[in-house]
């Protein structure tokens, strides 16, 4: 009797381990980069512009993405403020520039290189539209994550808190969203932090080129970690 129980427990343990391994092998991440292309990104930042510094940071991270980091990782790009001139007051100015697909640095860099800063900061509308960009729901084996690159407050007075809350609750995995500010002014940074703290969303306001690169690289690798193959 004791021997039968021992064999039974052994089989149960084996099955449990095999299940865990199978789950680990199936883990995937859908990561959406939400990128500010508003007129504010054309402002001077060190020896360059905010847009050029932020674009370099994203492209540099994509270049460094190793085989282990890209395993099971899908990346997309939503931009806002790049289509209409600010004078047109287009508060719907956001688009999915690259659908969430298997990580392809060359394609994503091509899209990034073509971006120009033009219009209003419509981050609230972008957050609302993000919900339709994620085709799969979060699960034990699937993470949905978002990194928001932002240079200004919303020019259209959108309810950013409500949009972020809805996105976080409906489409994102727990602890899978963060905001990277690109040299935001003190008041904007303070007001934004109040909103983000109320939603438990991490926020970094990068003050120089190195902080932008390090901040984006850290967030990218953090959210991509679930997609690394089991070691």
Give tens-digit pLDDT for 35-80: 999 999 999 999 999 999 999 999 999 988 754 455 689 999 999 9
- Comparing C-alpha atoms, which of 158, 156, 143 is closest to residue 195? 158
Is residue 203 a contact partner of residue 192, using CB atoms and an 8 Å limit?
A: yes
- Kindly report, residue by residue over 166-196, the tens digit of the pLDDT: 999 999 999 999 999 999 999 999 999 999 9
Tell me the average pLDDT across 133-149: 94
Q: Domain ranges for the chain, please list them.
A: 27-227
Spatial distance between the Cα atoms of 183 and 168, rounded to a whole number of angstroms: 25
Residue 3 is encoded by which pair of tokens?
């021997």
Residue 80, beta-bridge partner list: 36, 94
pLDDT of residue 69: 52
Share the mean pLDDT of the chain: 87
Choices 3.40.50.410, 3.40.190.10, 3.30.9.10, 2.40.10.10: CATH for 27-227: 3.40.50.410
Find where tokens 């932002």 sit: 150
| Token code pair at residue 127 | 């957050």
Q: What is the pTM of this model?
A: 0.86
Please, which pLDDT band fits residue 226 given cuts at 50, 70 and 90?
Answer: low
- Closest-CA residue to 27 (of 228, 171, 231): 228
């Amino acid at each position: 009797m004791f021997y039968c129980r021992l064999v039974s427990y052994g089989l149960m343990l084996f099955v449990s381990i095999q299940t865990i391994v199978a789950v680990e092998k199936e883990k995937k991440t859908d990561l959406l980069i939400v990128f500010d292309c508003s007129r504010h990104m054309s402002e001077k930042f060190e020896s360059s512009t905010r847009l050029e510094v932020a674009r370099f940071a994203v492209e540099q991270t994509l270049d460094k993405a190793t085989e282990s980091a890209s395993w099971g990782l899908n990346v997309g790009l939503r931009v806002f403020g790049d289509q209409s001139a600010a004078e047109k007051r287009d508060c719907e100015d956001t688009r999915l520039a690259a659908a969430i697909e298997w990580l392809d640095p060359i394609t994503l860099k091509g899209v990034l290189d073509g971006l120009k800063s033009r219009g209003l900061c419509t981050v609230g509308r972008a957050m609302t539209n993000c919900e339709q960009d994620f085709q799969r729901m979060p699960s034990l084996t699937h993470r949905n994550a978002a990194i928001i690159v932002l240079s200004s407050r919303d020019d259209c007075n959108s309810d950013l808190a409500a949009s972020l809350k809805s996105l976080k609750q409906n489409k994102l995995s727990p602890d899978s969203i963060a905001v990277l500010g690109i040299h935001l002014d003190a008041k904007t940074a303070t007001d934004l932090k109040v909103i983000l703290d109320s939603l438990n969303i991490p926020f970094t306001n990068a003050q120089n080129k190195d902080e932008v690169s390090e901040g984006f690289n850290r967030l990218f690798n953090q959210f991509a970690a679930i997609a690394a193959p089991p070691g």
